[in-house]
Structure 1
Amino acid sequence: MVAPRAPAAGRGMSSTEQESLLANWRAAWPLALADWSRFTRLQDPRLCASSVEAAKEGLTGSFAMIRLADQRVVIDLPQVQRLGLQDHAREILAHEIGHHVLAPATATDHARLLARIHRALPTLEAHAPMVANLYTDLLINDRLQRQCGLRMADIYRRLATSASGSSPLWQLYMGIYEQLWQQPAGSLGGPALEAADLRGDAWLGARVIRTYAGEWMEGASRFSALLLPHLLETISDARVDALMDTRHAGRGSQPVGLERLEEDELAPVLHPALDPRITGEEDAGAADEVAEDALPARALGHGQTREPFEYGEILRAAGLDMDPQQFAVRYYRERALPHLIRFPVSPQPQTQELELEGLEPWEPGDPLDAVDWLQTLMQSPTVVPGVTTVQRVMGPAPGNEPANEPIDLDLYVDSSGSMPDPQQDTSWLTLAGAVIALSALRAGARVQATLWSGKQQCLHTDGFVRSEDDILKVLVGYFGGATAFPIHRLRSTYAQRPVAARAVHILHISDDGITTMFEQDERGNSGWDVAAQALRAGRAGGTMALNLYSPLPASLVGAKGWTADLLRAREQGWDIHVVRDMTDLLAFARDFSQRHYQSLGGAGQ
């Protein structure tokens, strides 16, 4: 779909025109639904009687849009009338329905499509939403024109007569429609007969649409590679921009599974001219040539996962309006979910159940629902409040089943200059912290998360909390400064912790910089004393997961510097786990809970 510049905001139709147009478009809605299937069901479209109303719905720059979050179609009727397309209600509505039914259909597939296009447009990734819109429009319009007999070509023919000038990209795009529908050259605004290169690319584009109609996700990279050189020649084209009825389609949606690369994303990006399925060159020699000439794959992070910045770029292209921190929270939550293990719970001797111990007088001022009316009436048929009324006295008694109480988690993650920024590159410290913290929440525990670097560089939750977002917002933060453990946080957490409070396991994820925990605090207190007090008050032990170059020696004999400090910490009661590579922290995060479950005889598994 296409529209020229929007008219002045607020300019609407007369009441008579508005009522007539609304009636016609409402009548066309069920017909447009049936063009896809008689079983197709969507919410009624938002038919806006003014551009101001359309803008409130989020529609600007075009006369139609979709929203994947609530499965809506929005139409700016004054824009439709100004373009002279008011008689194409069925075609326009069927096109917008096609975005919900065929491509992209869901928020997740919308983001998956953008991921493939994003990779196929090196240095021009910002154009991925536009290319995705052009591509899905072609898929939808070709089906509606050929299989449903709708007048899609008439829409573009009318638009071609009402516009002047065109970019190479626009000519190519219209040329693809002319090839698909066997229209005369230039009738829809495509390239003239003498423009052999553009017409050849238009033929390739039409072949992509037909060949990959049933595998449109796979064909997206071919289409993008075809458009890439023409995007370089096109600075801007208002008509192309106005095609974007999926510009903000993903806003408010929840696409999932994008933290991992799919196998077909790693395949070479082929130009359609090098694709044997399109050219028909199926012999082995042609296949070898395709492999050699394919566009090189861009490095896409470690293993089979995206980097956080790539994840954010894709979601931003899909229309999600979020800041880098919010993207990072979603990224690490998705990365952590497959690895979650319930945090260990410690069995208590027995549950406490209430049982009847006797009766006592009920007096005015006591809760009315505390009156035991049966016993009151048994004592006297005449009820005298405060005299004959009685209430039950309940007392605790040991139950038959043991009670499980989760162990709270006090998590400290290093964010000094030796650590990566989790909002840009994968931080295994952040991922390990997320796995363990979310596992703790699953078991009913509370978590206190603290991110630290140099002096005065400390970010933490408001005590022990149950909110995933609050914890992850801390973990995805970044300082990148010096190294100075916040001893005051450890001191204040356990200085006067009530004896009846839950047991807490203290977990540090860091490197040799963790030994700054044993220095003196701002009050002159020994860090060793603060750490010892924390272990005593926490009552559930402490663990250090440290990225070190070599294992710790078995003895303090001959040990110096931070090595000696860590050996002394082990003697103090800290369980120290050395990881040689940061990626090993993920395995540690999974094994951490398993070791605790096994020590409790499998409780909580």
Structure 2
Amino acid sequence: MSPPRFTPEQVAKSWRDALDVWDVRVQLSPPEPHVPFRPDADHANEPLAYIDLVKRQVFVHFELLHDMRAAGSLTAVLAHEIGHHARFPHTLGWDAELRVQEQKLIPGLKQSLTNLFYDLQVNEVVGRTHARELADVYRGFQRVHGIGDMSPMFFFYLAIYEELWGLMPGQLAPEILESEMEARFPGLRAEARMFAQTFYALPSPRLQFLYFCATFIRYLGKPEELTYSLPLGSDVSLPDVDDLDAAINGAARWDDALEEAKERGWMDNGTGNSSSGDALDTIHRVTHHLPGKGGGELRRALVGRHYKRLVDQHVLKLPSAPSKPEPYLRTTPEAWEYGDDPSAIDWTLTVISQGHLAAVAPLRRELEADLPPPSELGVPSVEIYLDTSGSMPNPESQLNAMTLAAQVLSASAIRKKATVKGIIYSDGEPEVSPWMYDEDTARDFLFGYLGGGTRYPFEKLESLSRERPDALRVIISDSDFLANVAEGDSMRLLVESVRRSRALVAFLALPDDKRAREVLAPVLAERRFRLVVVTWLSDFGPAAANLSRALLEN
């Protein structure tokens, strides 16, 4: 076995020297060797260094650093990583703000530029004492990856460091590409010099980022196709849902910086207005390119918070219970047998009851749903039938007034300790939730969207009315419901369901109620049926709030 290229003593000394660059003490473990994510892959494509914030551990790809012929740059590399942790970005909330703004400044951007922005800030500080070592890392990166397909953005980026560190042109940005890049982007060298002189002298990080985006956009090509890699890139953790949510709803903090950027001539008056654009569109832009987000879970969570704010505008927020009720109960214990699910074993009960035989005779107990208790103070259980046909937009992409109305009704009921069942339907089999008594669960279910035509599930309405008589039922739809109820046996099923309900409300988007009263005449004679017509979709939220007060107030 070959001797290690970096001794523990060398690594420890480099770590101490790197901390001294920033004059900080951080709660991070000293560097450990990077373990390849994929042992069979080209190690040149693995990160050179990064920080695992979960483990509070710094990792360095020592082998790659050696192959780049930059072994003497270990202190500079470690100082670079500490710089990200200590100052740039320092918090993921700040990173989230930048990600929101860059999508407004450069719509459709496929890969965020924030890591590159932070590297410019970090390397200016580290380069004051370790410019040569950092330059060796960037030259080594080109040695390992080649320069044949170097992007104009990376060439310009390297040219900035040549100006910043007083290097001759060609010492970082490949000299062989100089004439080609200058022909494609006249004045590139002069712009790199101006950037190095201007960027670091700007008085605020917000102005720095606006100037950075306004300058780099020239070299991006098609933003929606941009992908890039840096020798010290991809080493900043991604913001979470709390960070992004706060950033999306705190864009006004950028107004002064945007106005100053426009006065300086970096962007026109139609660019980057923090108050412009739909919040759902901003959420889509910010999240569509983020990796590893579980098929849109991050986006769905952000959309959920947006709708919750809209709901809270209409529904009084009551004090929450100390804890959520337990949705499941354990069944009677039975003997566990080989082949059963090991997770069903109740070890606490087994040890108490079986004693020394616990290991050989474990007991299992399944979980069964704990049906919620009846509502407090006579507030009825509520069934919400939500039309999610193609006549209304997907609520995750555009504001869906009917979805908002369903969520207002749901939140109103749950905050009064009522239980809610959601039924979303289109032209196929409807999706039916269990009885819900948690607002977040109900909100998530009511984001469901089926699209297509409309066929109201009268058979499901009738069967559910038998399962839970005396529930309050609300149908949220438009003129399609009138067409559906006039077909076949639908009216009979509707009338029977009304008679088994505490009340059944048809909550419909219609220009007026004339046709509705003609079509629904047989059921309008029932004392438990109510027709509520909403003329404008924008009124659905307030109307739902008024309806919930009328139905649920004692």
TM-score range, shorter chain: 0.7 to 0.9
2:153 corresponds to which residue? 169
Q: Does the 8 A contact of 1:311 with 1:331 survive in 2?
A: yes
Partners of 2:252 and 2:226 lie apart in 1 by 35
Partners of 2:250 and 2:44 lie apart in 1 by 32
SS at match of 1:141: helix
2:121 corresponds to which residue? 139
Question: Which structure has the bigger radius of gyration?
Answer: 1
Partners of 1:83 and 1:15 lie apart in 2 by 18
1:507 corresponds to which residue? 474
Cα root mean square deviation, aligned: 4.4
Q: Does the 8 A contact of 2:424 with 2:432 survive in 1?
A: yes
The one-letter amino acid paired with 1:465 is M
How big is the shift at 1:155? Answer: 3.4
The one-letter amino acid paired with 1:564 is E
Q: Does the 8 A contact of 2:51 with 2:81 survive in 1?
A: yes
Q: Does 1:313 align with 2:285?
A: yes
How big is the shift at 1:262? Answer: 1.4
How big is the shift at 1:210? Answer: 1.2
User: Which residue of 157, 166, 172 corresponds with 1:188?
Assistant: 172
1:459 corresponds to which residue? 431
1:198 corresponds to which residue? 188
Q: Does the 8 A contact of 1:50 with 1:77 survive in 2?
A: no
User: Which residue of 136, 160, 179 corresponds with 2:163?
Assistant: 179
Q: Does the 8 A contact of 2:424 with 2:431 survive in 1?
A: yes
Q: Does 1:25 align with 2:14?
A: no
Q: Does 1:224 align with 2:213?
A: yes
Matches within 5 A, 1:227-238: 227-232=216-221
How big is the shift at 1:135? Answer: 1.2
2:71 corresponds to which residue? 86
How big is the shift at 1:257? Answer: 3.0
SS at match of 1:490: helix
User: Which residue of 501, 525, 529 corresponds with 2:495?
Assistant: 529
How big is the shift at 1:413? Answer: 1.2
2:237 corresponds to which residue? 249
SS at match of 1:495: helix
| Runs of 5+ unmatched residues, structure 1 | 1-13, 277-289, 346-401, 553-558, 601-605
Partners of 2:156 and 2:44 lie apart in 1 by 26
The one-letter amino acid paired with 1:486 is P
More helix by percentage = 2
Q: Does the 8 A contact of 1:171 with 1:189 survive in 2?
A: yes
Partners of 1:78 and 1:120 lie apart in 2 by 39
1:587 corresponds to which residue? 542
Q: Does the 8 A contact of 2:381 with 2:471 survive in 1?
A: yes
How big is the shift at 1:486? Answer: 0.9
How big is the shift at 1:420? Answer: 0.9
SS at match of 2:200: helix
Post-superposition CA distance 1:501-528 (Å, at most 9, x none): xx64323322233335645677x77133
Partners of 1:570 and 1:71 lie apart in 2 by 66
How big is the shift at 1:120? Answer: 2.4
Partners of 2:500 and 2:58 lie apart in 1 by 58
2:510 corresponds to which residue? 548
2:134 corresponds to which residue? 152
How big is the shift at 1:173? Answer: 0.5
Q: Does 1:113 align with 2:95?
A: no
Q: Does the 8 A contact of 2:155 with 2:173 survive in 1?
A: yes
Partners of 2:226 and 2:498 lie apart in 1 by 68
How big is the shift at 1:15? Answer: 6.4
The one-letter amino acid paired with 1:118 is Q
Partners of 1:137 and 1:486 lie apart in 2 by 57
Partners of 1:343 and 1:140 lie apart in 2 by 44
Post-superposition CA distance 1:396-416 (Å, at most 9, x none): xxxxxx965764331111112
TM-score, length-scaled by structure 2: 0.72
Partners of 1:491 and 1:511 lie apart in 2 by 20
Q: Does the 8 A contact of 1:512 with 1:546 survive in 2?
A: yes
Report sequence identity in percent: 20
Partners of 1:71 and 1:527 lie apart in 2 by 62
Q: Does the 8 A contact of 2:27 with 2:56 survive in 1?
A: no
2:347 corresponds to which residue? none
Q: Structure 1 65/418 Cα, relative in aligned 2: closer, same or farther at 3 Å? A: same
Q: Structure 1 495/49 Cα, relative in aligned 2: closer, same or farther at 3 Å? A: closer
Q: Does the 8 A contact of 2:304 with 2:444 survive in 1?
A: no
How big is the shift at 1:138? Answer: 0.4
User: Which residue of 243, 262, 276 corresponds with 2:251?
Assistant: 262
User: Which residue of 445, 466, 470 corresponds with 1:495?
Assistant: 466
Q: Structure 1 233/548 Cα, relative in aligned 2: closer, same or farther at 3 Å? A: closer
Q: Does 1:423 align with 2:377?
A: no
Q: Structure 1 326/207 Cα, relative in aligned 2: closer, same or farther at 3 Å? A: same
Partners of 2:412 and 2:116 lie apart in 1 by 43
The one-letter amino acid paired with 1:222 is Y
Matches within 5 A, 1:399-478: 404=377, 407-438=380-411, 440-454=413-427, 456-461=428-433, 463-466=434-437, 471-478=442-449
The one-letter amino acid paired with 2:493 is G
Aligned length: 487
The one-letter amino acid paired with 2:95 is H
SS at match of 1:508: strand
Q: Does 1:578 align with 2:533?
A: yes
TM-score, length-scaled by structure 1: 0.67
Partners of 2:229 and 2:252 lie apart in 1 by 32
User: Which residue of 61, 84, 92 corresponds with 1:99?
Assistant: 84
How big is the shift at 1:37? Answer: 5.0
1:8 corresponds to which residue? none
Post-superposition CA distance 1:24-51 (Å, at most 9, x none): 4355445544544535324665532556
Partners of 1:97 and 1:431 lie apart in 2 by 45
How big is the shift at 1:449? Answer: 1.2
Partners of 1:251 and 1:415 lie apart in 2 by 32
Q: Does the 8 A contact of 2:318 with 2:415 survive in 1?
A: no
The one-letter amino acid paired with 1:528 is L
Matches within 5 A, 1:586-605: 586-594=541-549, 599-600=553-554
1:562 corresponds to which residue? 516
Q: Structure 1 229/38 Cα, relative in aligned 2: closer, same or farther at 3 Å? A: closer
Q: Structure 1 511/426 Cα, relative in aligned 2: closer, same or farther at 3 Å? A: same
User: Which residue of 335, 346, 355 corresponds with 2:307?
Assistant: 335
Partners of 1:167 and 1:344 lie apart in 2 by 55
The one-letter amino acid paired with 2:159 is G
Post-superposition CA distance 1:334-384 (Å, at most 9, x none): 431464346899xxxxxxxxxxxxxxxxxxxxxxxxxxxxxxxxxxxxxxx
